[in-house]
């Protein structure tokens, strides 16, 4: 299956996005097709053997829209450069603004001319265009004033009727039909005024013009607000500097960042941005990584330190060897992560999608039926036209289409700015229901960098030599601690080991040059392998009682001694547990360590429950056990052995400093490696879902309430009849409310 992303042109409401989804899903081999309306983007997965990109584009174009594949290589994977994109959008909005000002002037004059006397008694009108003395002149002048407004809003007519004839009516169709009906009715009436002067009071030119003007203003404000929802992506894109200072044979020259290759050396001065990911080979200084990780304090960097492209040098001078470029950089991956999240729909949007797909045809049918009923029961044609027009213009499919994606875009953008990367809308929705947070100990609650604290043996050198030879073949954090301690003791050369075997969660084994079996692992592992460690039982219990992990080392069946290893608890762990529990989430410590060590750590950080002595392969079973008990589980981990549990959990949350496998298995990534962000991620989810529910309630409530009023349902009892102009104004406000409500998220504290 191939996944592609397309930029779609010509979409203006939920009916448009539904039409694009509907026509593309009919293509053979299409597995999924989802449109993000605020981003004007289609994400489609399909079988290349059955459908091609050209088939997709042709199908979309036949439906009345334009389509262009988004490039996926290098920086272009984010579309045009931020500067170009921003300039293009500004020019488009400026042109739109000029048209709106012109429309407003003509519509205002028309409104004053036709309805001024109703608002201000004795409103002065020149005799030559007075409706009493020269009704034909009045009608012609109103028509002349209406034409420029309709011309400037001609896109509603071209797009609206085009969509109608293609069988995909949308919001533009509703506006086009209502404005056309009003204008044509008024035009016919103008020709009848000569014989029936009183018909001048039945003119409807101002309604057609003001409807178009109001909707245009609403669309402009909506577009302006929608651009603000994309701010997080734009800010991230702007972090990547266009140029870099390349150091080549002691010479320095400014070059394009895109020309830099892995292995090149670049100079980063104070105040400059790091152009690409790399390792400091010379110099020292402080780096501000706030926009990437959410860490507000500058981070000290020196020789051997990793730096992230897009971060800012606060002070000092750094010579950086570039390690990653293009799509491989952390910044590129973050942007892609956020874009993916914004493109994927949340399950909560499904109802709105279903309604949007049939909304416009239903509204058109209601408008025709309502107008026909009023005409049949004795109302004149003018009254029926007013009902028809009011129903068409008050209906607002846009609000339903924007309710969910705008909130997700703002929510995921807010998370990204705080160093919380959320993979999808579904993850964002599920996170608000989390009831249990299961946290892996090593590298999550603790720093993940254990150190050797105790060596108990009659021959420490022999013990550490065997331990170093075995553990140097392992990537486990405990193995690295043993190797580091061995190096400090002057042991730097490992004896050759054959038949090396890593028994997950227990220990390692192999054979030395003499053919003797060598072992290193937990006390339980030693007993399973038939090694007698009874002489160390007292020391083992003592070390475990202090929360330390015990590694036993043996040669054949003889114990050489034990090593005590301790991991440092993260400074933020206790505060993190308090914050997680304060929002009603149960905390569980999950570890492969013995019970005593786990309880020692658990007491320090204050977790609710402890599950100890769990093998890596069993972690997913623990998650499932809580799920079977009715809990919605978030698993927080950082390592390779956490990946199955992260994938199994309702929400997998990976620490940003963890392994690539853990991050790939996660729904949420905490870039700042701060466990307080677990509570922040859940809070963000709750705020976003609350905003989505508010938006959906408003969108449905508005239409359910507004459409019946527009049909004249309140007229027989209360004499209330909705003007098409009021309907157009309300429709514009409806969409604006949804977008503005989503933007409120940016001001929330999480």
- The CATH number assigned to the domain holding 604 equals 3.40.50.1000
pLDDT per position as a tens digit, 332-357: 877 777 777 766 666 777 666 677 66
Give the whole-angstrom CA distance, residue 90 versus residue 87: 5
Instruction: Give 425's contacts (C-beta < 8 A, 6+ positions apart).
Output: 341, 342, 344, 345, 346, 349, 404, 405, 408, 412
Query: Residue 550: what pLDDT?
Result: 92
Q: With cut-offs at 50, 70 and 90, classify the pLDDT of residue 84.
A: very low
Look up the CATH number of the domain holding residue 25: 3.30.70.100
Is the pLDDT at 415 greater than 50? The verdict is yes
Same domain, 578 and 432: yes
Query: Residue 378: what pLDDT?
Result: 92
Q: With cut-offs at 50, 70 and 90, classify the pLDDT of residue 613.
A: confident
- Told to judge if 55 belongs to the known catalytic residues of this protein, a careful annotator would answer no
Last residue of a domain, one of 301, 324, 347: 324
Same domain, 436 and 583: yes
Give the whole-angstrom CA distance, residue 388 versus residue 371: 5
Give burial (CB, 10 Å; 0-12/13-18/19+) of 515.
Answer: exposed
Angle at 67 between CA 63 and CA 73, to 5 degrees: 155
In a domain, 181, yes or no: no
Same domain, 508 and 590: no
In a domain, 697, yes or no: no
Please state the rounded mean pLDDT for residues 313-322.
91
Same domain, 578 and 680: yes
Residue with more model confidence, 348 or 31? 31
Instruction: Give 126's contacts (C-beta < 8 A, 6+ positions apart).
Output: none
Q: Nearest 10 degrees: CA dihedral of 542, 545, 546, 548?
A: 90
Same domain, 50 and 31: yes
Same domain, 576 and 681: yes
Give the whole-angstrom CA distance, residue 675 versus residue 244: 35
| DSSP H or E stretch at residue 698 | helix 676-710
Please state the rounded mean pLDDT for residues 405-427.
86
Is the pLDDT at 51 greater than 90? The verdict is yes
Give the whole-angstrom CA distance, residue 17 versus residue 36: 8
Same domain, 509 and 432: no
Query: What is the reported pTM?
Result: 0.69
In a domain, 471, yes or no: yes
Structural domain harbouring 33: 2-65
Q: With cut-offs at 50, 70 and 90, classify the pLDDT of residue 423.
A: confident
Residue 260 burial (CB count, 10 A): 21
Please state the rounded mean pLDDT for residues 411-432.
87
Give burial (CB, 10 Å; 0-12/13-18/19+) of 578.
Answer: middle
Of 113, 143, 8, nearest to 68 by C-alpha is 8
Q: Cβ distance 214 to 179 under 8 Å?
A: no
Q: Cβ distance 49 to 29 under 8 Å?
A: yes
Number of domains into which the chain is organized: 4
Is the pLDDT at 329 greater than 90? The verdict is no
In a domain, 382, yes or no: no
Look up the CATH number of the domain holding residue 545: 3.40.1110.10
Return mean pLDDT, the chain.
85
Last residue of a domain, one of 324, 341, 362: 324
Set 440, 593, 667, 674: catalytic member: 440
In a domain, 214, yes or no: no
Last residue of a domain, one of 43, 65, 87: 65
Crossing angle (nearest 10°) for helices 82-119 and 205-229: 150
In a domain, 177, yes or no: no
pLDDT per position as a tens digit, 578-596: 999 999 999 999 987 778 7
In a domain, 95, yes or no: no
Q: What percent of the chain has pLDDT over 70?
A: 89
Coil, strand, or helix at residue 374?
helix
Same domain, 641 and 668: yes
pLDDT per position as a tens digit, 198-218: 888 778 788 788 888 877 877
Same domain, 430 and 577: yes
Residue with more model confidence, 522 or 214? 522
Q: With cut-offs at 50, 70 and 90, classify the pLDDT of residue 44.
A: very high
In a domain, 186, yes or no: no
Q: With cut-offs at 50, 70 and 90, classify the pLDDT of residue 173.
A: confident
Q: Cβ distance 234 to 86 under 8 Å?
A: yes
Same domain, 588 and 650: yes
Question: Which residues are paired to 422 by β-bridges?
Answer: 668
Same domain, 585 and 613: yes
Same domain, 469 and 556: yes
């Amino acid at each position: 299956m191939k996944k592609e992303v397309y930029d779609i042109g010509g979409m203006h409401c939920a009916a448009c996005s539904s039409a694009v989804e509907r026509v593309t899903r009919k293509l053979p081999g299409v597995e999924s097709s989802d449109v993000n309306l605020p981003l004007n983007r289609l994400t489609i997965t399909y079988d290349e053997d059955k459908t091609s990109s050209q088939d997709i584009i042709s199908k979309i174009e036949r439906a009345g829209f334009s389509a262009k594949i988004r490039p996926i290589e290098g920086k272009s994977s984010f579309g045009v450069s931020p500067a170009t994109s921003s300039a293009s959008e500004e020019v488009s909005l400026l042109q739109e603004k000029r048209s709106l000002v012109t429309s407003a002037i003509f519509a205002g004059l028309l409104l004053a001319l036709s309805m001024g006397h109703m608002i201000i008694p004795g409103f002065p009108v020149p005799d030559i265009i007075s409706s009493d003395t020269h009704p034909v002149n009045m009608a012609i002048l109103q028509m002349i004033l209406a034409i420029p407004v309709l011309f400037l809003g001609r896109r509603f007519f071209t797009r609206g009727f085009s969509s109608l004839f293609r069988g995909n009516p949308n919001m533009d169709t509703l506006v086009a039909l209502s404005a056309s009906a009003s204008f044509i009715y008024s035009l016919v009436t103008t020709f009848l005024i000569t014989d029936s002067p009183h018909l001048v009071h039945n003119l409807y030119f101002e309604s057609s013009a003001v409807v178009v003007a109001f909707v245009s203003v609403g669309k402009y404000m909506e577009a302006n607000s929608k651009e603000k929802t994309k701010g997080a992506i734009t800010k991230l894109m702007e972090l990547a500097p266009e140029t870099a200072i390349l150091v080549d044979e002691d010479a320095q020259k400014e070059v394009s960042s895109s020309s830099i290759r892995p292995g090149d050396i670049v100079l980063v001065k104070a105040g400059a941005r790091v152009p690409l990911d790399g390792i400091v080979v010379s110099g020292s200084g402080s780096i501000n990584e706030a926009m990437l990780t959410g860490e507000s304090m500058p981070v000290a960097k020196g020789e051997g330190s990793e730096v992230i492209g897009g971060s800012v040098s606060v002070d000092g001078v750094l010579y950086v060897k570039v390690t990653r470029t293009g799509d491989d950089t952390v910044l590129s991956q973050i942007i892609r992560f956020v874009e993916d999240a914004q493109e994927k729909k949340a399950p909560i949007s499904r109802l709105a999608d279903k309604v949007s797909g049939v909304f416009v045809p239903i509204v058109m049918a209601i408008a025709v039926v309502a107008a026909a009923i009023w005409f049949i029961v004795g109302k004149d044609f003018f009254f029926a036209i007013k009902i028809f027009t009011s129903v068409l213009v008050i209906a607002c499919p846009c609000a339903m289409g924007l309710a969910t994606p705008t909130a997700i875009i703002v929510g995921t953008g807010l998370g990204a700015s705080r160093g919380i990367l959320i993979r999808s809308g579904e993850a964002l929705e599920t996170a608000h229901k989390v009831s249990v947070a299961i946290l892996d100990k090593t590298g999550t609650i603790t720093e993940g960098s254990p150190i050797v604290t105790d060596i108990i043996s009659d021959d420490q050198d022999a013990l550490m030599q065997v331990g170093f030879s075995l553990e140097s073949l392992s990537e486990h954090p405990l193995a690295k601690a043993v190797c580091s301690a061995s190096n400090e003791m002057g042991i730097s050369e490992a004896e050759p080991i054959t038949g090396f075997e890593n028994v997950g969660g227990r220990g390692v084994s192999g054979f030395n040059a003499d053919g003797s079996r060598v072992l290193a692992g937990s006390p339980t592992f030693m007993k399973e392998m038939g090694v007698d460690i009874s002489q160390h039982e007292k020391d083992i219990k003592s070390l475990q009682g202090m929360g330390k992990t015990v590694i036993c080392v043996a040669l054949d069946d003889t114990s050489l001694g034990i090593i005590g290893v301790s991991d440092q608890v993260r400074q933020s762990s206790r505060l993190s547990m308090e914050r997680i529990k304060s929002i009603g989430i149960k905390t569980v410590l999950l570890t492969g360590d013995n019970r005593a060590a786990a309880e020692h750590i658990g007491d320090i950080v204050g977790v609710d429950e402890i599950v100890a002595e769990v093998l890596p392969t069993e972690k997913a079973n623990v998650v499932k056990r809580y799920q079977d008990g009715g809990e919605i589980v978030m698993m927080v981990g950082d390592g390779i052995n956490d990946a199955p549990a992260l994938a199994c959990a309702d929400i997998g949350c990976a620490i940003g400093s963890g392994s690539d496998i853990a991050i790939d298995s996660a729904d949420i990534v905490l870039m700042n490696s701060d466990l307080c962000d677990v509570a922040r991620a859940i809070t963000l989810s709750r705020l976003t879902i609350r905003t989505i529910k508010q938006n959906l309630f408003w969108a449905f409530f508005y239409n359910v309430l507004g459409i019946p009023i527009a049909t004249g349902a309140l007229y027989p009892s209360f004499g209330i009849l909705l003007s098409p102009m009021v309907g157009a104004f309300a429709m514009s406000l409806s969409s604006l409310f949804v977008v503005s409500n989503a933007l409120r998220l940016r001001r929330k504290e999480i």
